């Protein structure tokens, strides 16, 4: 879920989030939870107040991690208030209830509690970690942050300045500009086209009342997804869920967001920036998460550009021709669309040739598919690396929350590698032909590129 959080760390994340005792426990967790993912017992529990959650009990280390999310994200930002969800993600540890910002953060540090928030285009996420001994006190602070944040003027203005500084920096970063421009071109007229972090102008207008309005409309029990992993029982988790989330409204007041796809017909847009190398972002529409072809697409992505130094694009663009240091691709499903996108950065005079090579590799893959050896190697890596996503409480919680947000059941974890192993060469060839329509390729370039006349939408 990093794609939409292109800024890097939120201002609230730039502080030291973990006291020494909690940091020491992380090492113990890594060594304790290193077994295979399928060894986990995932319970579906419901609190006395009716809030559902997934739970993995792990009592070897006296701490727990909880991940939760509300549907909405930056797609719920009102027009003219772009960056509102992002702003809120930086404000929820800036004081709540009777505790002003400094008092709230000092109390978090005293009890070795971690709490942070982030937004995507489709959801607003919360991360919560606590020692067992301090769980009750930590839950009280979390409840205050979710239900009664302060939004004091001094804190709002301080965070605004930090966000605007980050935006000013991002405006000089070719990769970030290219990615924002790609979404603007691909999804013109749709909420996905708007910058999740907003602009300096829109962030300048956001008020405490705007932040509270977003919280009230978005934070509700009907769109809440929760997972917890660690030293807590089902009964204890049920009580914690009602304590933290029980006072929220039953239903959210969300603006409907329509299904969409990247614009067809291909586009190429250049944004002039006086930098020594150009950055290009290129992409297409892709298969949705529940599409039967999504898993073969995931394998294809690894072969083509997602496999680092063993990918086809890296071999052709970097190793054979020395055109760029790196080139990569991702397949990324959203709630209302799905995309296959990638990026390459190289000197201005070489960006055109790099893109020509990428287009040619897309065409070759669409026509011929990969070799059996390439498929076998990709599947071996993707299957073998999967358990590494489950080697800490926090990682397990993040993986499980992702499954809940995509509306999968707990059995997905046991079935995932079998689905990956079942992908055949014919499957990947079929998907490559379906996916890699180079005439629909959308490209945004930032720099001073030397290339043919750009085709703009």
Q: Would you say residue 317 lies in a domain?
A: yes
Does residue 36 surpass a pLDDT of 60?
no
pLDDT digits (tens, 9 = 90+) for 115-140: 999 999 999 999 999 999 999 999 99
pLDDT of residue 31 exceeding 60, the answer is: no
pLDDT of residue 454 exceeding 90, the answer is no
Q: Residue 404 sits in a domain of what CATH number?
A: 3.30.830.10
pLDDT at 30 over 70: no
Same domain as 275, residue 179? no
Residues 197 and 241 grouped into a single domain: yes
Shared domain for 194 and 273, answered yes or no, is no
Q: Are residues 201 and 288 in the same domain?
A: no
Whole-number Cα distances in Å, 13 to 94, 140, 269, 395: 12, 20, 34, 18
Domain contains 250: no
The SS3 assignment for 411 reads: coil
Q: Are residues 193 and 318 in the same domain?
A: no
Whether residues 91 and 167 fall in one domain: yes
Mean pLDDT, rounded, for 51-64: 96
CB distance 450 to 348 below 8 Å = yes
Q: Residue 40's pLDDT is what?
A: 87
Question: Which three-class secondary structure state does DSSP give residue 256?
Answer: coil
Return the pLDDT at 270: 97
| Nearest-angstrom CA–CA distance, 172 and 345 | 15
Query: How many structural domains does the chain have?
Result: 2
241 and 274 part of one domain = no
Does residue 417 belong to any structural domain of this protein? yes
- C-alpha distance from residue 436 to each of 29, 113, 316 (Å): 42, 46, 17
Cβ atoms 200, 168 nearer than 8 A: yes
Which residues span the domain enclosing 290? 267-447
Residue 228 has pLDDT above 50, yes or no: yes
Residues 80 and 15 in one domain: yes
Global pTM value: 0.89
Q: Which residue, 88, 230, 196, is CA-closest to 145?
A: 88
Rounded-to-integer distance, Cα 180 and Cα 177, Å: 5
What are the φ and ψ backbone dihedral angles of 14, each rounded to 5 degrees? -80, -15
Is 152:95 a contact under the CB 8 Å cutoff?
yes
In this structure, is residue 3 part of a structural domain? no
233 located within any domain: yes
DSSP secondary structure code for residue 56 in this structure? E
Give the Cα separation of 281 and 319 in Å (integer).
20
Q: Does 89 lie in the same domain as 222? A: yes
Give the other-Cβ count within 10 Å of 353's Cβ.
16
Give the pLDDT score at 227: 98
Q: CA Rg, the chain, in Å?
A: 23
Flag whether 258 is in a domain: no
Share of the chain above pLDDT 70, in %: 90
Exposed/middle/buried for residue 180 (C-beta within 10 Å: 0-12, 13-18, 19+): buried
Together in a domain, 203 and 143: yes
Residue 385 in any domain: the answer is: yes
Q: Are residues 430 and 290 in the same domain?
A: yes
> Could you report the per-residue pLDDT of 339-373, keeping only the tens digit for each?
999 999 999 999 999 999 999 999 999 999 999 99
Residues 175, 291: one domain?
A: no
Q: Would you say residue 327 lies in a domain? A: yes
What is the per-residue pLDDT for 255? Answer: 97
pLDDT attached to residue 39: 66
Pairing mode, strands 114-119 and 63-71:
unpaired
Domain final residue, candidates 193, 213, 245 = 245
Q: Which two structure tokens, joined as six digits, stand for 377?
A: 């190697």
CB–CB of 278/324 below 8 Å?
Answer: no
Q: Is 49 exposed, middle or buried (0-12, 13-18, 19+ CB in 10 A)?
A: middle
């Amino acid at each position: 879920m990093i794609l939409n959080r292109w800024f890097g760390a939120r201002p609230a994340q730039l502080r030291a989030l973990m006291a020494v005792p909690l940091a020491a426990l992380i090492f113990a967790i890594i060594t304790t939870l290193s077994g295979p993912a399928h060894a986990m017992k995932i319970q579906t529990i419901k609190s006395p107040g009716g809030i559902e959650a997934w739970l993995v009990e792990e009592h070897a280390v006296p701490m727990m991690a909880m991940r939760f999310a509300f549907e909405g994200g930056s797609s719920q930002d009102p027009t003219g208030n772009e960056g509102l969800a992002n702003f809120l993600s930086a404000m929820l540890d800036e004081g709540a209830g009777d505790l002003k910002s400094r008092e709230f953060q000092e109390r978090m540090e005293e009890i070795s509690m971690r709490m942070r928030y982030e937004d995507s285009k489709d959801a607003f996420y919360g991360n919560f970690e606590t020692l067992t001994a301090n769980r009750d006190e930590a839950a009280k602070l979390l409840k205050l942050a979710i239900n009664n944040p302060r939004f004091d003027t001094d804190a709002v203005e301080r965070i605004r300045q930090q966000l605007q500084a980050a935006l000013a920096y991002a405006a000089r970063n070719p990769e970030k500009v290219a990615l924002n421009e790609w979404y603007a071109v691909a999804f013109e007229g749709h909420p996905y086209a708007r910058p999740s972090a907003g602009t300096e102008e829109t962030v300048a207008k956001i008020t405490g009342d705007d932040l509270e309005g977003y919280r009230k409309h978005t934070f509700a029990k009907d769109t809440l997804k929760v997972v917890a992993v660690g030293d807590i029982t089902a009964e204890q988790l049920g009580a914690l869920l009602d304590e933290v989330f029980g006072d929220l409204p039953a239903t959210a007041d969300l603006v409907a967001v329509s299904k969409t796809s990247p614009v067809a017909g291909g586009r190429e847009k250049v944004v002039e920036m006086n930098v020594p190398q150009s950055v290009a972002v290129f992409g297409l529409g892709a298969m949705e998460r529940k599409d039967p072809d999504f898993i073969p697409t995931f394998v294809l992505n690894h072969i083509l550009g997602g496999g680092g130094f063993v990918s086809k694009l890296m071999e052709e663009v970097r190793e054979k021709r020395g055109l760029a240091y790196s080139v990569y691709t991702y397949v990324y499903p959203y709630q209302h669309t799905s995309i296959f996108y990638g990026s390459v950065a190289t000197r201005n005079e070489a960006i055109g040739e790099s893109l020509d090579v990428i287009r040619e590799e897309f065409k070759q893959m669409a026509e011929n598919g990969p070799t059996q050896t390439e498929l076998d190697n990709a599947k071996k890596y993707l299957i073998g690396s999967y358990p590494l996503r489950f080697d800490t409480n926090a990682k397990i919680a993040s993986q499980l929350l992702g499954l809940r947000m995509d509306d999968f059941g707990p059995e997905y974890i046991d079935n995932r590698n079998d689905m990956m192993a079942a992908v055949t060469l014919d499957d990947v060839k079929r998907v490559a032909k379906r996916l890699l329509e180079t005439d629909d390729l959308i490209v945004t370039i930032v720099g001073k590129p030397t290339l043919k006349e750009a085709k703009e939408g």
